Chains A and B, each alone.
Chain A
Amino acid sequence: MPDLGYAAILTGFVIAAYTAVASFVAGRGRVGELWLSARNGVYAAFGLTTVASGALLYGLITHDFSIKYVAEYTSRSQSPAYNFAAWWAGLEGSLLFWAWLISLFSVIVLIQSRRNNRELIPYVSAVNMALLAYFLGMMGFALNPFETLPVAPADGMGLNPLLDNPGMLFHPPALYLGYVGFTIPFAFAIAALISGRLGDDWIRASRRWTLFAWFALGLGNLFGAQWAYTVLGWGGYWGWDPVENAAFMPWLVGTAYLHSVMIQQRRGMLKVWNILLIVIAFSLCLFGTMVTRSGILSSVHAFSGGSAGPLFLALLAAVAAGSLGLLWLRLPALRSENQLDSLVSRESSFLLNNLLLVGAAFAIFWGSVFPLLSEAVRGVKTTVGPPFFQEVTGPIFLALLLLMGICPLIGWRKASAENLARNFLFPLGVGVATAVLLLLLGMRPFFAALAFAVLAFVAASILLEFYRGVRARHRGRGENYAVAVPRLIWANKPRYGGYIVHVGVILIALGIVGSQMFATNVEATVKPGETIQIRNYVLTYRGLTSYTEGDTDIVAATLDVQRGGQSLGSIVTSKAFAAGRDEPRTDVSIRSDPREDLYTILSGWSEDGTASFKVLVNPLVMWIWVGGAVLLLGTAIAFWPDARAEARLPVKERVPAKGMRPSHA
């Protein structure tokens, strides 16, 4: 089986390289036969990466410890689900997972484009297949997932206990879907540059891919945050680790892109900027992959990479240089079709939004690479950790939130003063009233009251948008309000889906502000029967129990919880010691409600039953996860096919492109 997998990788490499060249030549020369061959090449490459992935999965599930990768990431006692998840748990396997996703997405794009984008699609395939060939080449010649051991061990090492969590089944794949998903809009952008079809075709064709990649990356980050919160046991959900940052940066740039393309689609402006944004987003995806695999930045997530770092650096350099070179060549053809009508317009507010989003991504990038720079310039190692990122990005994100409320209130082209005053009155009133009320109620620090006021302002501006739309339907079509809301959303899915995404962001921000500003913690060592007090909670320690589950020894502490004198039942927090592992796993207890989380960690214990606990009260954390679900809903609505949008497609998209033989479509 390892031989079959390795042979599939090598053959896949040859096929993908051929397909990249054939697609490109077919696109340039409009050679139908060659394009037919290239199309088959895409299918063949997908088939071969599927065979290679199947071979690895077979080894993982059947405990073929003669394969080094299988011995390193699985064990006989590990559940089949986690043995499956080992596919993406290590460096070589994750490269294969990445390659399989590129090949799968390439096939989907090909199927989607049977009837349109015919001038773009050969180049899209060329880019996809070139990237696939690079990944398969890396595995074929440097980082072979099918490397065998001279003697197969009786059992494997299994996953790190921290990875032995359901999060492992969702968090990494979601991030990979995002990273690889950005390949497709990037490929369309490059195809537009090569083909000279620099209008909106490439944006329209890749819009849902961008949304998909953006969403998957966001979801991956949220899954990661939840995993960190529930498993790592430090009471937080975001550690500003370089690898976390690396996954966050392309999401921010992707967010900027999703907004700025609206200006191109409506006004024919920002064409260069949009291509640049998607190139930056994809390059940041590669940067993130490089960071995780090279070990150049100190991270809790890093794989030990060997030659992976230089190989990814070379790919990153080639992508950046190639894209920017092409963009330079096409600059004269990328002139804006329109000019701004006014300084105060939706367009200029979107520009500000882009500036802040890209600025936030840059600030995070800068903080992530500053230790390298410091060492290079001064020869002194430094650390850039959470305090830096919180302090630097805090004001940028708050300004972004404010802008999120302002943008919808400013009209396209030119906003009149009266129009502005009328639109701003209600949301601004709500924001100011919130600030005053919170400050009068004694909320400190001032920044927290300000942040909540900004969130109230944004929520009011979105509410106003919905109210106006619903009122228009009520007046114009006589629909009652309950019916008008879903119909309004359904009638313009991208717009109202986007607003629902904004609501999700508000809720996430609410949770972040609440938990960052008002978290309390207490550490205590207590004997059975003694109590720990935190805010209005009283926790009574009942005692320790120890037991064994499979090959894991567990020590668990039970505490009774009261809040404001009312019993809330018992909680259990424990530490689990897996056989053969030095580090125990901390199983925290989280009692969550909309107001706050009671987060209890068993830190240690002694023979006489005395135990040490760290207890935190983290306000509003639940809203982060609720916000994530709302974000999911909004994205799904925006993603949903829009019959009206399809009907609006220009005629040029509905007829075969000249030159290509229709029979080969």
Chain B
Amino acid sequence: MPKAMLVGSLVALVTIVGLLTVVAAAPQGATASGPPTVDDLTDELMCQCGCGMTLANCSESMECGTSGSMATEIQQQIDQGKTKDQISDYFVAQYGEAVLASPRKSGFGLAAWTIPFLTIAAGGGATAWLVWLWARRRGPRGHRATVAVQDAGLLRRYEDQVDEDLKDLE
């Protein structure tokens, strides 16, 4: 098996992980085209009764007048033809930023969204550097003797046996 295939597999792997991250981080089920629904907003606004839950969750887990009246307010805003962002702004003006169930993706709030991924990326970079350093530092002692093996089947059986023996040690 050529080295190129190994490199190819690695590139494919990194691409898949990267793709997963990008796809997963993209907003799910965006309904930007149509008018928002009450459900769209009850998941993204916090109930102000002090329960610490979103409007959607609070209204079902306890008797709460606040969540009901807030849902009515959302419907009124939708009826006025406002967009999701405009409705969020309306609630922020009324209750402050804490009414949003997650920070805005702008200004200081952007730090909340980006720092975890930047930290993981930095950790990944540091790990990759360390692994590269370790693998490089092995020096001549670590180089394996190259033996021409004519019988590929024999080599495979040998590798399988080594794998099995190593597994037994786990």
Which of A339, A352, A398, A492 interacts with B20 by CB under 8 Å?
A398
Which of A336, A374, A447 interacts with B28 by CB under 8 Å?
A447
Q: Using known A-B contacts A380-B96, A388-B101, determine if residue A233 contacts B115 with beta carbons closer than 8 Å.
A: no
Q: Complex: how many Å from CA A351 to CA B134?
A: 13
Which of A262, A348, A382 interacts with B98 by CB under 8 Å?
A382
The answer to whether B57 touches A384 (Cβ under 8 A) is no
Q: Count of chain B residues with Cβ under 8 Å from any Cβ of A? A: 72
| Residue B2 CB within 8 A of the other chain | yes
Would you list which residues of chain B between 66 and 111 have a CB under 8 Å from chain A?
96-103, 108-109, 111
| Residue A591 CB within 8 A of the other chain | no
Interface-forming stretch among A70-78, A90-98, A355-363? A355-363
| Residue A419 CB within 8 A of the other chain | yes
| Residue B147 CB within 8 A of the other chain | no
Shortest distance between the CB of A295 and any CB in chain B (Å): 11
**Mask: chain A, 259-290; 1 = CB below 8 Å from B; 0 = not:** 00010001000000000000000000000000
The answer to whether A417 touches B3 (Cβ under 8 A) is yes
The answer to whether A232 touches B138 (Cβ under 8 A) is no
List A contacts of B124 (CB < 8 A).
352, 355
The answer to whether A416 touches B1 (Cβ under 8 A) is yes
Q: Complex: how many Å from CA A644 to CA B116?
A: 42
Q: Complex: how many Å from CA A472 to CA B164?
A: 9
Q: Complex: how many Å from CA A72 to CA B24?
A: 46
Which of A299, A341, A374 interacts with B142 by CB under 8 Å?
A341
Q: Which single residue of chain B is at the shortest CB-CB distance from A465?
A: B167
The answer to whether B6 touches A495 (Cβ under 8 A) is no
Q: Which single residue of chain A is at the shortest CB-CB distance from B62?
A: A583
| Residue A234 CB within 8 A of the other chain | yes
Q: Complex: how many Å from CA A399 to CA B124?
A: 13
List A contacts of B60 (CB < 8 A).
233-235, 586, 601, 603, 614
Q: Complex: how many Å from CA A416 to CA B9?
A: 12
Q: Using known A-B contacts A340-B134, A387-B44, A398-B20, determine if residue A424 contacts B9 with beta carbons closer than 8 Å.
A: yes
List B contacts of A234 (CB < 8 A).
53, 56-58, 60-61
| Residue A647 CB within 8 A of the other chain | no
List A contacts of B96 (CB < 8 A).
380-381
The answer to whether A584 touches B103 (Cβ under 8 A) is no
The answer to whether A399 touches B17 (Cβ under 8 A) is yes
| Residue B135 CB within 8 A of the other chain | yes
Which of A239, A367, A419 interacts with B57 by CB under 8 Å?
A239
**Mask: chain B, 152-170; 1 = CB below 8 Å from A; 0 = not:** 0000100100011011111
The answer to whether B24 touches A395 (Cβ under 8 A) is yes
Interface of A is mostly: helix
Which of B97, B137, B142 interacts with A380 by CB under 8 Å?
B97
Shortest distance between the CB of B6 and any CB in chain A (Å): 4
Interface of B is mostly: helix
Would you list which residues of chain A between 331 and 358 have a CB under 8 Å from chain B?
336, 339-344, 348, 351-352, 355-356, 358
The answer to whether A383 touches B101 (Cβ under 8 A) is yes
| Residue B127 CB within 8 A of the other chain | yes
The answer to whether B119 touches A359 (Cβ under 8 A) is yes
List B contacts of A492 (CB < 8 A).
167-168, 170
Which of A355, A384, A417 interacts with B103 by CB under 8 Å?
A384
List B contacts of A420 (CB < 8 A).
6, 9
| Residue A550 CB within 8 A of the other chain | no
Q: Using known A-B contacts A380-B97, A382-B100, A383-B101, determine if residue A419 contacts B52 with beta carbons closer than 8 Å.
A: no
Q: Complex: how many Å from CA A147 to CA B21?
A: 53
List B contacts of A603 (CB < 8 A).
59-60
| Residue A406 CB within 8 A of the other chain | yes
Q: Complex: how many Å from CA A374 to CA B113?
A: 13
Which of A262, A343, A388 interacts with B135 by CB under 8 Å?
A343
The answer to whether B46 touches A395 (Cβ under 8 A) is no
**Mask: chain B, 42-60; 1 = CB below 8 Å from A; 0 = not:** 0110100001111011111
| Residue A241 CB within 8 A of the other chain | yes
Q: Complex: how many Å from CA A584 to CA B103?
A: 32
Q: Which single residue of chain A is at the shortest CB-CB distance from B51?
A: A300
Q: Complex: how many Å from CA A340 to CA B135?
A: 5
Q: Using known A-B contacts A234-B56, A355-B124, A374-B108, determine if residue A342 contacts B102 with beta carbons closer than 8 Å.
A: no
| Residue A310 CB within 8 A of the other chain | no
Q: Complex: how many Å from CA A219 to CA B81?
A: 47
Q: Using known A-B contacts A402-B16, A445-B28, A583-B62, determine if residue A351 contacts B127 with beta carbons closer than 8 Å.
A: yes
| Residue A411 CB within 8 A of the other chain | yes
List A contacts of B137 (CB < 8 A).
339
The answer to whether B127 touches A392 (Cβ under 8 A) is no
Q: Complex: how many Å from CA A78 to CA B24?
A: 47
List A contacts of B132 (CB < 8 A).
343
| Residue A446 CB within 8 A of the other chain | yes
List B contacts of A351 (CB < 8 A).
127, 131
Which of A336, A388, A412 interacts with B102 by CB under 8 Å?
A388
| Residue A394 CB within 8 A of the other chain | yes
Q: Complex: how many Å from CA A386 to CA B26?
A: 16
List B contacts of A399 (CB < 8 A).
17, 20-21
Q: Which single residue of chain A is at the shortest CB-CB distance from B71?
A: A523
| Residue A378 CB within 8 A of the other chain | yes
B51, B58, B142 pick with most chain A CB within 10 angstroms: B142
Q: Which single residue of chain B is at the shortest CB-CB distance from A242?
A: B52
The answer to whether B138 touches A340 (Cβ under 8 A) is yes
Q: Which single residue of chain A is at the shortest CB-CB distance from B115?
A: A366
Shortest distance between the CB of A169 and any CB in chain B (Å): 21
List A contacts of B169 (CB < 8 A).
266
Would you list which residues of chain A between 293 and 350 have a CB under 8 Å from chain B?
298-300, 336, 339-344, 348
The answer to whether A395 touches B25 (Cβ under 8 A) is yes
Shortest distance between the CB of B107 and any CB in chain A (Å): 9
The answer to whether B20 touches A395 (Cβ under 8 A) is yes
Q: Complex: how many Å from CA A355 to CA B96?
A: 36
| Residue A370 CB within 8 A of the other chain | yes
Shortest distance between the CB of B21 and any CB in chain A (Å): 4
| Residue A152 CB within 8 A of the other chain | no
List A contacts of B25 (CB < 8 A).
391, 394-395
Q: Complex: how many Å from CA A399 to CA B20?
A: 7
Q: Which single residue of chain B is at the shortest CB-CB distance from A495?
A: B170
Would you list which residues of chain A between 381 and 434 have a CB under 8 Å from chain B?
381-388, 391-392, 394-396, 398-399, 402, 406, 411-412, 416-421, 424
Q: Which single residue of chain A is at the shortest CB-CB distance from B2?
A: A417
17 further interface pairs, Cβ-Cβ under 8 Å (given A236-B57, A388-B112, A398-B24): A234-B60, A234-B61, A342-B135, A343-B131, A352-B124, A355-B123, A359-B119, A362-B116, A382-B112, A383-B46, A383-B103, A385-B101, A391-B113, A395-B23, A418-B156, A420-B9, A586-B60
Interface residues in chain B, defined as those with a beta carbon under 8 Å from any beta carbon in chain A: 1-3, 5-6, 9-10, 13, 16-17, 20-21, 23-29, 39, 43-44, 46, 51-54, 56-63, 96-103, 108-109, 111-113, 115-117, 119-120, 123-124, 127, 131-132, 134-135, 137-138, 142, 156, 159, 163-164, 166-170
Task: Give me 19 A-to-B residue pairs in the complex whose CB atoms sit less than 8 angstroms apart, sorted by A's number.
Answer: A236-B57, A300-B53, A343-B131, A363-B119, A380-B97, A381-B98, A382-B103, A384-B102, A385-B54, A388-B103, A388-B112, A395-B21, A395-B23, A417-B5, A450-B20, A472-B164, A603-B59, A603-B60, A614-B60
